[in-house]
């Protein structure tokens, strides 16, 4: 993870939201010349990710540079463990604490959830790749999708601007599936076309268009197997993506149907934060 201007701006806004005109408690109780040493501790098994964003919070408050003690993107069961150290002015350390931990806990939670889904997807012999969706926190998408990659998943699309996914509303407004696909190809001939399908008839129609990928929306296991069989019987190179209500309990069976991808909105919209804390020593 690299910190660009966008992350710096986001962290600065988060600090301004939290600090306002100043930290009333710290300014009243902590001497201005006090220094401290902060330890960031992972208290729950999982994957840590987001230390660069956390480091930016400490840098912007003047607390100093964050020293990473772990390799991000790797699952750890042995907790508690120290993941980072920062030493500097005590007031600055406390000013950065909550923003740093909020970002680190949130992004680590996404990486942890993704890692769990990746493992579960292989539990019944399937080999489907886990994808995220656009169901992200506004303005945090790039960070959240980076956390998905850190957890072993892949990104579906960053936004509406970098991929074509034709859904039922597009089909209705375009005048039918074939018309929608033809228009998409004419407008953007170099971009692969993905088509959403809800049943066997729609799968058959979408396969006939030569779409690059089919999004199999809320299909049961029998429907997913039938779609895989239809694809394989025709020798089509199209890839298949299962989506809709996927959980850790169901992703193994879904993957085992033979689909190539499973997209999971919960990775970014419902992943619980990983439990981390900051311990400050004088």
> Does residue 235 have a cis peptide bond before it, meaning omega lies within 30 degrees of 0?
no
DSSP 16-39: HHHHTT--HHHHHHS-TT-EEEEE
Catalytic annotation on 37? no
Question: Please, which residues have CB within 8 angstroms of residue 170's CB and are 6 or more apart in sequence?
Answer: 180
Q: Which of 35, 39, 98, 122 is catalytic?
A: 98
Q: In what order do the strands lie in the sheet with 276-281?
A: 66-68, 81-89, 35-42, 276-281
Catalytic annotation on 43? no
DSSP label of 65 = P
Catalytic annotation on 183? no
- CB-based burial of residue 95 (10 Å sphere; 0-12 exposed, 13-18 middle, 19+ buried)? buried
Rounded CA separation 77/277 (Å): 17
Catalytic annotation on 135? yes
Q: Which of 135, 141, 149, 183 is catalytic?
A: 135
Catalytic annotation on 167? yes
Place of tokens 């680190």: 104
Q: Which of 52, 132, 202, 217 is catalytic?
A: 217
Q: Which of 35, 39, 167, 198 is catalytic?
A: 167
Q: Which of 52, 56, 194, 196 is catalytic?
A: 196
Catalytic site positions: 98, 135, 167, 196, 217
């Amino acid at each position: 993870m690299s910190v660009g201007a966008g992350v710096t701006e986001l962290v600065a806004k988060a600090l301004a939201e939290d600090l306002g005109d100043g930290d009333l408690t710290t300014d009243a109780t902590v001497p201005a010349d006090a220094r401290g040493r902060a330890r960031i501790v992972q208290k729950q098994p999982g994957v840590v990710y987001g230390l660069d964003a956390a480091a930016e919070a400490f840098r912007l408050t003047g607390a100093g540079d964050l020293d990473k003690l772990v390799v991000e993107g790797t699952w750890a069961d042995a907790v508690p463990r120290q993941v980072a150290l920062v030493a500097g002015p005590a007031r600055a350390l406390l000013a950065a604490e909550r923003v740093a931990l909020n970002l680190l806990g949130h992004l680590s939670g996404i990486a942890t959830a993704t890692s769990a889904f990746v493992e579960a997807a292989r539990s019944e012999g399937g080999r489907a790749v886990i994808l995220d969706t656009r169901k992200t926190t506004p303005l945090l998408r790039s960070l959240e999708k980076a956390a998905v990659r850190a957890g072993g998943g892949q990104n579906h699309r960053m936004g509406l601007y970098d991929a074509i996914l034709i859904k039922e509303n597009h089909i209705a407004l375009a005048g039918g599936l074939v018309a929608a696909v033809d228009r998409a190809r004419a407008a953007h001939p170099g971009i692969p076309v993905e088509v959403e399908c809800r049943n066997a008839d729609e799968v058959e129609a979408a396969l006939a268009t030569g779409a690059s990928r089919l999004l199999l929306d809320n299909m049961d296991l029998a429907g997913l197997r039938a779609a895989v069989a239809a694809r394989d019987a025709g020798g089509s190179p199209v890839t298949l993506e299962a989506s809709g209500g996927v959980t850790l309990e169901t992703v193994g069976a879904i993957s085992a149907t033979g689909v190539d991808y499973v997209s999971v909105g919960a990775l970014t919209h419902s992943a619980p934060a990983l439990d981390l804390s900051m311990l400050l020593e004088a």
